Amino acid sequence: MGYTNGSLYISLMILCTYVCTGKAIEAKVSALFTFGDSIVDPGNNNFIPTIARANAPPYGQDFPDRMATGRFSNGKLSTDFISAELGLKDTVPPFLDPNLNTQDLLTGVSFASAGTGFDNLTAQVVSAIPVLKQVEYFEEYRARLVDLVGEENSSNIIGEAIFLCVAGSNDFLENYYSLPNRRAQFSLEQYRDFLINIYLTFIEDLYKLGGRKFAMYGLPPMGCVPLERTLYGQSISGCVEIYNQAALSYNTQLMSTISTLNTSLPDIKAVYVDIYNSSLDIIENPSKYGFETSSRGCCGTGLIETGTTTCNSATPVTCSDSDKFYFWDSVHPTQRGYQITGHEAFQKYISKLL
């Protein structure tokens, strides 16, 4: 394999760390890799020139040591909870963090970037990392992994890992419905299919790099987030139905695409993760889950604040108990919201990949 005696010794020690700590025995899979937007970005945007950041208080106020890590939450993300349920680790770190340790590389990292989408034009709005560019970062990760543990072990880790992707909302809300270019090119149905085809290319590219287990998230009820309710003038009267109908149409098409994937690529196992209905049930019945409200976020008014440009230490009247709120800011759930939806996603869908 081209190892020197020293590098072989180091690789064996790394493998021993992975196995002897019990993580490989406890874990139901080898690693968790996450891709997509702010819902699963644990801080990659901290290391690129973008305004889409959550790296200052009050973000992270309920994270260990009250750290604002770059997660768009008061604490952990759903993927952190999913990683723990898989028996891997309590948090999934960002790939771009220069201080990644070997254990993190062995058990999974996130390539996600807040503000991004499948459409490259979406990522350009805030200078985020496009989803297909995240595949290139995964190639870099794979090369580092091979250097650490060799080709065969790397292939085994990647082949037994879960690849999780959450994206698409920004493509509609921050691009198609907000900017003129794509609406001039595509009908809503054509744009939906345009995004689905990019999603398909994304999965096929990761499959070529050794991925076999995929958790493919659909869109949430994006017309129900407080920001869109506010902008559309429906902060009290309800959700923006045209946005929700677009999400439902997209999700139906995605389910069909996943079915085709599972029959066309050997050894692939892809599952559709329905985040729409789990989120909508919380939004429509917050008290059922112990929340006092789901129509506004915890930070400030909770109607327009999102990211450190508007939700920051100078924001007045951030709520005293975030557990009573489903939304942390005007777009993203609280840690408790993420925990509930993450657990349901694991139990109903991701567990099928084990």
The pLDDT value given to residue 17: 42
pLDDT, position 7: 41
Give the angle subtended at the CA of 245 by the CAs of 242 and 249, to the nearest 5°.
Answer: 140
Summarize pLDDT for 147-170 with one digit per residue, the tens.
999 999 999 999 999 999 999 999
**Residue 264 CB-density burial (10 A; 0-12 exposed, 13-18 middle, 19+ buried):** exposed
Say what percent of the chain tops pLDDT 70: 91
Does the structure show a pLDDT above 60 at 181? yes
State the pLDDT confidence band at 237, using cuts at 50, 70 and 90: low
Level-2 CATH architecture, domain 5-353: 3-Layer(aba) Sandwich (3.40)
| Residue 13 pLDDT level (bands cut at 50, 70, 90) | very low
Domain locations along the chain: 5-353
State how far the Cα of 73 lies from the Cα of 336, in Å rounded to an integer.
Answer: 10
Give the residue-averaged pLDDT of 117-131: 98
| Spatial distance between the Cα atoms of 236 and 11, rounded to a whole number of angstroms | 58
Sign, Cα dihedral of 120, 122, 125, 130: negative
Residue reference for tokens 């400030």? 300
pLDDT at 21 over 90: no
337 alpha-carbon distance from chain centroid: 14
Residue 63 confidence (pLDDT) above 90: yes
The set of residues, in sequence order, having a beta carbon less than 8 Å from that of 163 and lying 6+ positions away, is 33, 35, 206, 211, 213, 214, 215
Q: What is the dihedral of CA 94, 97, 103, 109, to 10 degrees?
A: 20
Task: Check if the beta carbon of residue 255 is closer than 8 Å to that of residue 200.
Answer: no
Amino acid at 239: C
Provide the mean pLDDT of the chain. 92
Is residue 298 classed exposed, middle or buried when 0-12, 13-18 and 19+ CB atoms within 10 A define those classes? Answer: buried
Q: What pLDDT is stored for residue 236 in this prediction?
A: 60
Active site residues: 38, 329, 332
Q: Could you report the per-residue pLDDT of 288-312, keeping only the tens digit for each? A: 999 999 999 999 999 999 999 999 9
CB 192 within 8 A of CB 259: no
Contact yes or no for 173/222 (Cβ under 8 A): yes
The C-alpha angle 327, 330, 335, rounded to 5 degrees, equals 30
pLDDT at residue 11 is higher than 60: no
Q: How far is CA 22 from CA 87, 93, 137, in A?
A: 10, 20, 28
pLDDT confidence of residue 233: 84
The arithmetic mean of pLDDT across residues 208-235, rounded, is 94
Measured distance CA(223)–CA(240) in Å, rounded: 4
Mean pLDDT of 192-216: 98
pLDDT value for 26: 53
Cα dihedral 311/313/319/320 (nearest 10)? 150
